[in-house]
Structure 1
């Protein structure tokens, strides 16, 4: 039985064309700033996001943490939505690496309101940490792949600016937002000081993210990357895959979104499964089962449907990607039906 892997869009494998790009990559020593493929990738992603400069890094976690380290100092505070990636999936790095205090804010499907952000900014008082940074996430992972509207994003950013805060965007799946909303990724990114994007999710590269932003912040992030051991040498081997994904795999994200809607609609017809089909905006489906997720995940795996628990105790997350076809979607729905019988 062929496994159908919905655990994440990080499980994708490089396509044949991407492998050729890797094999043919022109390389140099990136720590010396001499890798031409890395330089080409950094220039292209900065231009695409409407920001000044970019830094190629091994992971999305490192991109986010470099941004926090560049923006904040010990004792500062970062505001972020309560379900954000930097709070839940980065190993406690915010306080551990930078001595920065996160303040989680309540959102709806990961999206904040201007009022919530305004109320969270601390007064200038010796008893308080300095509220220094607002970190947002688009699309929002624990929000089911929810997309921020550009209008709401701009409103929230304005509140942060009025309070003197810097703004970072965890845009690991920002190109999913671009395709879903039908507007350029720069519509969000150009409103920020720094934005992180990931190449190893929907774009299908095996490794890599970029931190993009103001030139002075990217220079500081480069120093911090070295401190964290993220300075790679002939990194063009990896950057070539990221560059190929950026040039060839953005538009095809629409297929993943269509497959997610197909999957949601199919699962909604299975007795014992609840799916809010209207909430499927990009490539994630959150399905609620009668049994706990900790039981459902291994049960589904016996039928070759690989998933992860997410959100509530009965919620399972399924993520579509370039290695899952429409035919796989139909087969997965049939397998879930069999598992529940």
Structure 2
């Protein structure tokens, strides 16, 4: 089996790496997080110009027809620099659902996503339902003019900046996916920041009108489509975690070589060497499992979803170990906002809770 990246994939990695090194140092990132939008509009335009927003879309819709492998290349580099632009929500999550739908305006919406004009977010999580996202309380009811949407959604990624929302709801006791404009009457949006600095939104729907043309999928089709989106999204944040683990490990090794105690670098102390070896091993184990999941998802292997759950469990465990060791080996500086190392731990914590935490995926893997 050939596990080497192609020339195109290596070029993509080098392009993202160069961008992050040039335009995305830690100080720039902190300024972005302090902004109201939570991302840099100039960076987003550059993402569009470089063609990154077109990566997962089909050629018929103006994309490059790339797949999970190229997405993991992107997200691994994003993880190293802790990139906060809403690529996951607007391109991966929304794009996966939109491309599989048959709504009349599909091509137009995707074209605007690729150009960076529009951002679309998926509203799927709700309070009090845990990670059983399909058992939602938001309802899509048939009425005289089409459909009516009622309920609330929490933790909508990039919710305050989205132009449209793809909403998961219940219709006739079955899942449904509907497309809703952000400025539609009856929709209220409250934006907030999460632990890791990301921008999210709380959405409330009160008799929001939805036309028949805006229904993306119903019943089993909606369930399959939503689960496919979850698999791709989990793969992407796992690749991001791998990149963040790699960066955490490298920064920690460098720090211990420079920090001296008892007239010698603390990297000479064997107990600290053991911890850094543990960090390295967990990172490599996670990357190996990520590669397996990527190849299975790319080839539509029926076992892909199970491997994705195993990967999410490994990411949760490894992210905690690597993040906590990195912070501890940096000492008191590790928990300061002025150093990036503590921000990696925050991101690992957020990633663990996204799309189902470690225990949820252990249960899912065993079922």
- Relative to the length of structure 1, the TM-score reads 0.27
Q: Does 1 or 2 have the higher relative contact order (CA < 8 Å, sep 6+)?
A: 1
